Structure 1
Amino acid sequence: MPLEDHARIVSELTSRGYNAEREAVTQLAATDQPAAVLEFLLEDLPADALVVRSAHVESARSALETDAAAANPDPAAPDSAAQTDSTPSVSTGTTQPTASGSGAETPVETEGSQPIERSVDHDLRDLEIAGDMTGQSTGTGEYSDFVTVFRDRLERLGSKLRGRINHRPATAIQSMPGGSEVAMVGLVNDVRSTASGHWLVELEDATGTFPWLVMKDREYADLVNELLCDEALAMEGTLSDDAGIAFVDSMYFPDVPRTHEPSTADRHVQAALISDVHVGSDEFMADAWNDFADWLHTEQAKHVEYLLLAGDMVEGVGVYPDQDDELEIIDIYEQYEAFNERLKQVPGDLDIVMIPGNHDAVRLAEPQPGFDERLRGIMSAHDPQIVSNPSTVTLEGVSVLMYHGVSLDEVIAELPEEKANYDEPHKAMYQLLKKRHVAPQFGGHTRLAPEEKDYLVIDEVPDIFHTGHVHKLGFGKYHNVLAINSGCWQSQTDFQKSVNIDPDAGFAPIVDLDTLDVTVQKFS
């Protein structure tokens, strides 16, 4: 069995039903006889062992050396076992950059290098999940279900707005005399322009609707082109003389407070944020993924302890017209089996969290519950946590809102290019943070499922907002919230060419959880 790098060792261990600590893999790769030590280790492991640890490797290495010494009592005699495999198995076949360097950003281990210190104290780790609605879907598609979810949205987002204005229900405003100062919190029911170029925004609450006129020459008129139907909004203004309409003086979004201070980890630890792997596609970038997996075993990645995947693990079947012509693997379950083999390549001691996307074998309507038991059983490498889309993951105090990102298409289509576009996907993410909802518009391209509550509301401000879907890399900060769209692992397909999508493929954003700084590693 050739053991040319760490990934091969991990693959061999997982194929035999074991996970492994990263330090254990490093120690194993650094031995003079990695293949022999591995075989000895597997034979000597306790029957109830599930994870190969450093102590197991050290025990196997010592035992093998003892056996070799017994077989060769003359210290001067050559050790035949060592001669059969005298080359340390950690070479990646690349040249280590010198100190003066050629500017290479990704140092790798070279043949003969020293073992990497991979000591990880798992007691320091802290991972919590919130908002996972897997197994809690109650919607039947009845009219009453839709009423329930929109009432819940209005109540929760309205609570963030009512403290800013002297709110009145729509029916109360309708009974007030002309010239009165009025304010209302509601969901945007309609937005249209008038013949004279002004804007008419109709708000709806639990009691009814009321029209608000935004004059084209007011300083906040440009906010109207940011509005989406069904988002929560607050308006203040003055009733017309006949009290049939209100002239808008102020407009408020639920928004992220400008005073938001993000949490950070108490130690230097990193998370890799990726999405849209698309295993099963002809255009899946296997070489880039292999380089990424190999990199995770290097010194440069020793602080990466978390891996977050924001959906589309596989290419899926029947997702778009003529997709069959672009599939390397046509069976959906075989696609997930192939993805699981790819997952085995990353270090076994990573904490992994995954959510589904629109190419995955779950319902298309959002929120999307996590995968069924059969698929969870297939994607079992390194025991990942598989949760719904969206969900919030808290890593050592740092909250990460994970959402696949289908609604970004709608935001980009509806809003002006300077406010949302594919080349800067994080700007579209800013809009969702401003609206405090990951998919506010109902009835458009984004399919929404009615549930007993609106799982798509952003109740708590996250420290990091992570999306994928659009296959573009972009990141930035909105009111101190780090927004990252992590690109993809699939080169341009014929379908993407037809809709003018030029993907950013083979990138892995790495976030320092103690500072929220971002470094992008490129593998393509």
Structure 2
Amino acid sequence: MPLEGHARIVSELTSRGYNAEREAVTQLAAADDPDAALEHLLDEIPDDALVVRSEHVEAALNAVSSSGSSPPTESAADRGDPTPSVSTGTDAPVSGDSATHAPVETEGSEPIERTVDADLRSLEIEGDMTGQSTGTGEYEDFVSVFRDRLERLGSKLRGRVNHRPASAIQDMPGGSEVAMVGLVNDIRSTASGHWLIELEDATGTFPWLVMKDRDYVDLVDELLCDEALAMEGTLADDSGIAFVDSMYFPDVPRTYEPSTADRHVQAALISDVHVGSEEFMEDAWNRFADWLHTEQARNVEYLLLAGDMVEGVGVYPDQDEELDIIDIYEQYEAFSEHLKKVPGDLEIVMIPGNHDAVRLAEPQPGFDEELREIMSAHDPEIVSNPSTVTVEGVSVLMYHGVSLDEVIAELPEEKASYDDPHKAMYQLLKKRHVAPQFGGHTRLAPEEKDYLVIDEVPDIFHTGHVHKLGFGKYHNVLAINSGCWQAQTDFQKSVNIDPDAGYAPIVDLDTLDVTVQKFS
């Protein structure tokens, strides 16, 4: 079957167990008869070669030329083309045994010839706001983003209650049955031990009293300022406050049925690589990259990275004392070299995190052109934080996860903790917003619309940031926090963070089952 450009050549080479330099692929694609050149290349390449290099292609083209076929083409090196190679070779691969719920150790395995039918693949991006930022930081921008949040999340609540605006409730007679949809403006306890919740909508604010002896009082512990909420209750005699009878979150429907792929295909979900740190676990990463070339990883066709590709510079106090690479661009160059070690036929999607060289305020646009060029190995999709990636019909909400610190700090330990990061993710799904609270640990950028709202229910919710491994299902949505590739730093010791490092959760997209591979 004729080869169709660079992608087909890379796919063919990787299916035979080879990685390839970009200039080598370019030479093959430019040949008069790429099929013949590839045949000669595969016949003549040394048995111990793992990487197809320019000199291998030139030898094959010379052989084709001497037999009357296409002449050799000018190499990228001859033209002075600085474009980096597509992929580099790996040493003896290592693989891990599968386990359903617990991390497993890795064992040795042999490389395979990966066979991938690119026609079966599909990957779509939604919610990427890269290049769409319009916020100037003016007061009107903040008003705009919160109005958009209230409108979109309120629409999920208004059908459940007989909603009235705050201004209308203030004019209703005492004893009336009332309901309101708004953003939580304030939460405070009274001297009697009750809870006073102030809701705000576009017309004003109104106070709601949650009595301490009601069954649902525990829900108050889950509330964060600025999240959307609906309340029903009865107005006091003086109409100055309402007594709460029930409260509702936007939430994921309990009957939600996730989509699955039509074939057995897998995705590796990882985050927090932190290249550039002295504690970056290079050996574990290499074992992971090698494992991806083995029989056990034959069905892994997608790699989703949820931020913090590098350690960054100046992110936390005295960070420079823990850096192995002190230049931010050199950190990304080193990350790119590590990325080249994974199979070239993987579809890769990356979002930034708080250690990456983008703005800290969320939503974070994808990387600028200079960094994209540095990280161009395997032509990854680089999108904003957050973004939704639909992989063969399975929607994956990718969010780095800075707001998890906020959720864990504000909520009781049994509802959100670093040991069980997926439970904190459940709270974000319940609130249908990845960073509901403004003004705390999470920096938010005002835009014309709130890009952090979870409009559509995802099939998978993937985060990182907290360097802890955890996964579970909330109303049938698979939530995964994927750990990290950085051993404990001195800073982490000072704040009592014991990271789960060197793990790779693997998701079967046809069943949404999870297997965790351990490489550390």
Regarding TM over 0.5, the answer is yes
Match of 1:421 among 401, 417, 441: 417
Which residue is 2:28 aligned to? 46
Which of 204, 220, 223 lines up with 2:216 in the alignment?
220
Q: Quote how far apart the aligned CAs of 1:326 are.
A: 0.2
Tell me, yes or no, if structure 1 residue 27 matches structure 2 residue 16: yes
Please state whether the residue corresponding to 2:28 is helix, strand or coil: coil
TM-score (norm 1): 0.85
Are the structure 2 counterparts of residues 189 and 302 from structure 1 closer, same or farther at C-alpha, using a change threshold of 3 Å?
same
1:95–1:306: structure 2 CA closer, same or farther, 3 Å change rule?
Answer: closer
Match of 2:237 in 1: 241
Tell me the secondary structure at the aligned position of residue 163 of structure 1. Answer: coil
Question: Cα offset for 1:60?
Answer: 1.7
Q: 2:510 aligns with which of 490, 509, 514?
A: 514
CA contact (8 A) 2:399 2:462 kept: yes
**Offset of 1:92 from its aligned partner?**
2.2
Q: CA–CA distance in 1 between the matches of 2:107 and 2:114?
A: 16
* Residue of structure 2 in register with 1:364 after alignment: 360
Shift of 1:19: 9.8
Deviation at 1:119, TM superposition (A): 1.4
2:139 aligns with 143
**1:327 and 2:323 equivalent?**
yes
Q: Distance in 1 between matches of 2:37 and 2:507?
A: 32
1:293 equivalent to 2:289? Answer: yes
Shift of 1:61: 2.9
Tell me the secondary structure at the aligned position of residue 286 of structure 2.
helix
Selected match of 2:42 from 22, 44, 61? 61
Residues 484, 20 of structure 1: alpha-carbon distance in 2 compared, 3 angstrom cutoff: farther
What aligned pairs does 1:474-513 form with structure 2 within 5 A after superposition?
A: 474-513=470-509
| Residue type of the alignment partner of 1:61 | L
**Structure 2 partner of 1:8:** none
Aligned partners of 1:21 and 1:54 also within 8 Å: no
Q: 1:405 to 1:44 in 2, by over 3 A?
A: closer
- Report which structure shows greater RCO (CA 8 Å, sep ≥6): 2
Give per-residue Cα distances to partners, 1:435-476, cap 9 Å, x unaligned. Answer: 000000001110000000000000000000000000000000
Q: Deviations over 1:353-409 (max 9, x none)?
A: 000000000000000000111111111000001000000000000000000000000
Structure 2 contact 174–237 (Cα < 8 Å) conserved: yes
* Residues 389 and 403, structure 1, Cα contact 8 Å, conserved in 2: yes
CA gap of 1:336–1:512, structure 2 versus 1, over 3 A, is same
Q: Does 1:134 align with 2:130?
A: yes
SS at 1:61 equivalent: helix
* Residue 181 (structure 1) aligned to one of 142, 164, 177: 177
Q: Which residue of 1 aligns with 2:257?
A: 261
Contact kept in structure 1, 2:400 and 2:463, CA below 8 Å: yes
CA contact (8 A) 2:502 2:519 kept: yes
The answer on whether the counterparts of 2:505 and 2:516 sit within 8 Å (CA) in structure 1 is yes
Distance 1:460 1:512 in 2: 21
Equivalent residue number for residue 198 of structure 1: 194
Counterpart of 1:480 in structure 2: which amino acid? N
| Aligned partner letter, 1:483 | A
Over 3 Å counting, the alpha-carbon distance change for 1:175 and 1:55 in structure 2 is farther
Q: How does 1:349-360 map to 2 (within 5 A)?
A: 349-360=345-356
Tell me the residue number matched to 2:446: 450
CA drift at 1:96: 11
Q: Name the CA distance, whole Å, in 2 between partners of 1:429 and 1:54.
A: 50
C-alpha displacement of 1:257: 0.2
C-alpha change, 1:191 and 1:95, in structure 2 (3 Å) is closer
Structure 1 residue 118 displacement after superposition: 1.6
Structure 1 residue matching 2:267: 3-state secondary structure? strand
Equivalent residue letter for 1:142: E
Residue matched to 2:383: 387
Work out the CA distance in 1 between the residues paired with 2:462 and 2:513.
14
What CA distance in whole angstroms lies between the structure 2 residues aligned with 1:515 and 1:138?
40
| Structure 1 SS opposite 2:471 | strand
2 CA distance for matches of 1:337 and 1:57?
30
Q: 1:137 is paired with a residue of what secondary structure? A: coil
Distance 1:94 1:374, change over 3 A: closer
Query: Displacement, 1:117?
Result: 4.2
Q: 1:270 to 1:357 in 2, by over 3 A?
A: same
Aligned residues: 468
Asked if 2 retains the 8 angstrom alpha-carbon contact of 1:189 and 1:203, the reply is yes
Is contact 2:503–2:517 with CA below 8 Å preserved after alignment?
A: yes
Moved more, 241-250 or 116-125: 116-125
SS at match of 1:243: coil
The residue aligned with 2:305 is 309
Closer/same/farther in 2, CA of residues 96 and 331 from structure 1, 3 Å limit:
closer
Distance in 2 between the 1:269 and 1:95 partners?
A: 18
The question of whether the paired residues in 1 share the 8 Å contact of 2:388 and 2:396 is answered with yes
The share of aligned pairs that are identical, in percent, is: 82
TM-superposed deviation, 1:109: 3.2
* Aligned partner letter, 1:92: A
SS in 2 for 1:46: helix
Summarize deviations over 1:295-316 as a string: whole Å, max 9, x none: 0000100100000000000000
Taking a change above 3 Å as real, the CA distance of residues 295 and 19 of structure 1, as seen in their structure-2 partners, is farther
**Is contact 1:192-1:200 (8 Å) kept?**
yes
Q: Name the TM-score, length of structure 2 as normaliser.
A: 0.85
Deviations 1:191-223 (A, max 9, x none): 000000000000000000000000000000000
Which AA in structure 2 matches 1:371?
Answer: F
CA shift digits 1:150-170 (9 cap, x unpaired): 000000000000000000000
For residues 205 and 55 of structure 1, the distance between their equivalents in structure 2, rounded to whole angstroms, comes to: 69
Q: Is the 8 A contact 1:293 1:346 kept in 2?
A: yes
Counterpart residue identity of residue 291, structure 2:
W
- Aligned equivalent of 1:109: 109
Question: Closer, same or farther in 2 for the Cα pair 1:26/1:242, shift >3 Å?
Answer: same
Amino acid of the structure 2 residue aligned with 1:214: V
Q: 1:455-470, aligned counterparts within 5 Å?
A: 455-470=451-466
Deviation at 1:56, TM superposition (A): 5.9
CA distance in 1, matches of 2:95, 2:220: 56
Instruction: Indicate if the aligned counterparts of 1:212 and 1:248 stay in contact, CA closer than 8 A.
Output: yes
Contact 1:273/1:309 (8 A) holds in 2: yes
1:210 maps onto 2:210 in alignment = no
Could you tell me which runs of 5 or more consecutive residues in structure 2 were left unpaired when the two chains were aligned: 1-5, 47-58, 64-88, 98-102
Counterpart residue number, 2:429: 433
Distance 1:496 1:401, change over 3 A: same
CA contact (8 A) 1:23 1:118 kept: no
